[in-house]
Amino acid sequence: MAPPDFRRPFKRAAVSDQQRRRELTLERQAQSRHDAQQRVRNLASTIISLQSQEPDDADVVLEPYLEESEAPPKELDIRRASRMRGEQVRNWFARQLMLPEWMIDIPDNLSQDWYVFARPAGKRCFVVASNGTTVSRQRNGSILHCFPSALPNGAKTREPSGPAHSYSILDCIFHEGDQTYYVIDMVCWGGCSYYDCPADFRFYWLNSKLEESGASGPPSYYHKYRFSAVTHEKGLPAAYTDATPYVKDGLLFYNKHAHYQSGNTPLALVWKDVKCSQYVLDTDSTGQVPDQQQVVLELQEDGNLITSDDPPIIFARLNSEFIQQLGLHSGNFVRCAINDGGLSFVEGKLEKADLKYIGKCSRGRAFADSYSKVVFQHMARHSPLTYDDLLVAANKAPSDVEMAG
């Protein structure tokens, strides 16, 4: 006898797996749709688009991003991200700062097209002010401070210092000695994005806005740390020799025409020698300069050891037996020493590196070294680029216009 239509035979499965698959699929689709729409909504004009593209070779140096790149830019709401926690956010933040390459040769037109300024020693971070709070995030994504500031919307004051939804993002170095955020670049101010503006424009606005907001004033109840703009425009000798309120850590060179760009860029360069930096040669965990130069590289699936550049430079290759033996996995950061064989170059390109495996890096490490850093350190030990070399380049007249007839 058959049961009534609505009465399920008790011992039969309640839900068919097919039905379950259908439902799970619908759930996934609804979620994807919602995500897709949220992504679009977050692309509002006030929200920054962050380019993750890198130039393919250094020839573009004087042709900063005037054309739109083909690949779609990666976008995300930085304000929301600044409040979030977790590994993903950290990884995301880790990629947002513009990271100067190390100067391994001197760019053309140094005097004409480049700013130079003394880099403060301290913690490099993004400072995001919105909704009445200011949050600073270090390069590895961790939060440094969460505080009130005089930046627009940076504190919960009675009188709002800007439209409720506006926010600001500054690229800073926090200097412990005088507890000051030295602003080296401005990404957004009062809801306006400056990503796509050339450096000279950004620096000009930075100075006037910072003054106007009162953020460069002394600390107070609603303004916990002082913000101070570094002086961008004094030229090489002043940057090298003049006294600064902060401890110097090398010189930064910024191309005047370059837009703000996340990640490693050859349009911003760092250089140092013992006179302007305490830390020319890298130290190990005990603070000692090791006998041999050490490098940190990332292990790939195929055993290659690569730099953090995009595209990465392959320095060496570990065989799979060795990898297994050491218990390493793809994505691990490993520390190696450069043996006596050193680095050999052919036509300016790395040909061979004589490396010795030292060990795995601690988990806090978010990056491998960049190619330029390794080479700069190598040069610093063997044949450094000196201040005099720079000075010669800085005093050189702009290169002649080449006639094509």
Partner 1 sequence: MAMEVTQLLLNAQSIDGSVRKQAEDSLKQFQEQNLPAFLFSLSGELANEDKPADSRKLAGLILKNALDAKEQHRKFELVQRWLMLDATVKSQIKSCLLKTLSSPVPDARSTAAQVVAKVAGIELPQKQWPELIGSLLSNVHQLPPHVKQATLETLGYLCEEVSPDAVDQDNVNKILTVVVQGMSSSEGNNDVRLAAIRALYNALGFAQANFSNDMERDYIMRVVCEAALSKEEKIRLAAFECLVSIASMYYEKLTPYMNDIFTITAKAVREDVESVALQAIEFWSSICDEEIDILEEYAGEFTGDSDVQCSYFVKQALNVLVPILLETLLKQEEDQDQDEGAWNIAMAGGTCLGLVARTVGDDIVPLVMPFIEENITKPDWRQREAATYAFGSILEGPSPDKLTPIVNVALNFMLSALTKDPNTHVKDTTAWTLGRIFEFLHGSTMDAPIITPANCQQIVTVLLQSMTDVPNVAGKACGALYFLAQGYEDVGPSSPLTPYFQEIVQALLTVTHREDAGEGRLRTAAYETLNEVVRCSTEETATLVLQLVPVIMLELHNTLEGQKLSSDEREKQGELHGLLCGCLQVIIQKLGASDQTKYGFMQFADQIMGLFLRVFACKSATVHEEAMLAIGSLAYACGPEFAKYMPEFYKYLEMGLQNFEEYQVCSVTVGVVGDICRALENKVLPYCDGIMTQLLKDLSSNQLHRSVKPPIFSCLGDIALAIGQDFEKYLMYAMPMLQSAAELSAHTAGADDEMIEYTNSLRNGILEAYSGILQGFKNSTKTQLLIPYAPHILQFLDSIYVEKDMDDLVMRTAIGVLGDLADTLGSNAGTMIQNSVSSRDFLNECLSSEDGSIKESAEWTKLAITRAISA
CB of 36 to partner 1, least distance (A): 6
Nearest to 75 by CA among 49, 97, 53, 95: 49
Q: Choose between 18 and 319: whose C-beta lies nearer to partner 1.
A: 18
CA separation for the pair 4, 12 (Å, rounded): 14
* Secondary structure of 342-356 as H, E, C letters: EEEEECCEEEEEEEE
Q: According to CB under 8 A, which residues from 110 to 169 bind partner 1? A: 163-165
Number of amino acids touching partner 1 (CB under 8 A)? 33
Segment contacting partner 1 (CB under 8 A): 31-39, 137-145, 310-318, 354-362? 31-39
Identify the burial level of 377 via C-beta atoms within 10 angstroms of its C-beta, where 0-12 means exposed, 13-18 middle and 19 or more buried.
buried
Segment contacting partner 1 (CB under 8 A): 3-11, 119-127, 350-358, 385-393? 3-11
Q: Choose between 160 and 177: whose C-beta lies nearer to partner 1.
A: 160
Q: Would you call 38 helix, strand, or coil by DSSP?
A: helix
CB of 154 to partner 1, least distance (A): 18
Binding pattern to partner 1, positions 158-187, x when CB under 8 A?
Answer: -----xxx----------------------
Q: Would you call 299 helix, strand, or coil by DSSP?
A: strand
Q: Choose between 25 and 179: whose C-beta lies nearer to partner 1.
A: 25
Q: Is 84 in the site for partner 1 (CB under 8 A)?
A: no
CB of 106 to partner 1, least distance (A): 41
CB of 191 to partner 1, least distance (A): 9
Cis amide linkage into residue 9, ω under 30° from 0: no
Nearest to 255 by CA among 49, 103, 52, 95: 103
Q: Is 7 in the site for partner 1 (CB under 8 A)?
A: yes
Q: Is 363 in the site for partner 1 (CB under 8 A)?
A: no
Binding pattern to partner 1, positions 190-229, x when CB under 8 A?
Answer: ----------------------------------------
Segment contacting partner 1 (CB under 8 A): 37-45, 250-258, 265-273, 358-366? 37-45
Q: Is 405 in the site for partner 1 (CB under 8 A)?
A: no
CA separation for the pair 66, 68 (Å, rounded): 7
Centre a 10 Å sphere on the Cβ of residue 13 and count the other Cβ atoms it contains: 8
Segment contacting partner 1 (CB under 8 A): 28-36, 204-212, 275-283, 315-323? 28-36
Binding pattern to partner 1, positions 41-70, x when CB under 8 A?
Answer: x-xxxx------------------------
CB of 82 to partner 1, least distance (A): 16
CA separation for the pair 79, 59 (Å, rounded): 34
Nearest to 148 by CA among 207, 227, 91, 239: 227
Q: Would you call 75 helix, strand, or coil by DSSP?
A: strand
CA separation for the pair 191, 126 (Å, rounded): 16
The three-point CA angle 39-88-179 to 5° equals 105
Q: Which two tokens stand for residue 102?
A: 């190390």
Q: Is 17 in the site for partner 1 (CB under 8 A)?
A: yes
Q: Choose between 330 and 339: whose C-beta lies nearer to partner 1.
A: 330
Q: Is 12 in the site for partner 1 (CB under 8 A)?
A: yes
Residue 111's H or E segment, with its range, is: helix 110-113
Segment contacting partner 1 (CB under 8 A): 16-24, 50-58, 275-283, 372-380? 16-24
| CB within 8 Å of 190: residues ≥ 6 apart | 152, 162, 163, 166, 167, 168, 209
Residues that bind partner 1 (CB under 8 A): 1-4, 7, 9-13, 16-18, 21-22, 24-26, 28-29, 32-33, 36-37, 40-41, 43-46, 163-165
